[in-house]
Amino acid sequence: MAEIKITQKRNNSTEIIISGELTIYCAVDFYQQHIKAIKLKPLTILYLSDIDEVDTAGVQLLIMLFKEISRQQSQCQINSISRALQDYSNIFRLDHYFTLHGSDNEPTTEISSEGQL
């Protein structure tokens, strides 16, 4: 089961940490409890390094999250990605949607404001 922690920071950003299994088994609950009701600040920072397992439904949830971030006109920044998500991205050729920014010590991935991965 996926776990999500959403923190509204004082620096006008929202931090979202997603961990666990992001799979079809949690998709409906995850969407209804978190994505549907989320309120974001101008900058949304995602931490995805603790996702243990991901499937097609999990990737769809992330895409819905990205679209919601865009709909609320928040800039999205991914600060970490798990091996499971990287592997899935490579297998299905989704890696070209990510643009890596930042130093070697602190990788940062940004998503376009059009809601694309």
pTM score above 0.85: no
pLDDT tens for the chain, 117 residues long, are: 889 999 999 999 999 999 999 999 999 999 999 998 899 999 999 999 999 999 999 989 998 998 999 999 999 898 889 999 888 888 888 765 554 444 344 444 444 444 443
Separation of first and last alpha carbons in the chain: 23
> How far apart are the C-alpha atoms of 42 and 33, rounded to whole Å?
21
Q: Which domains does the chain have, with CATH numbers?
A: 2-111 (3.30.750.24)
6 and 41 Cβ atoms separated by less than 8 Å: no
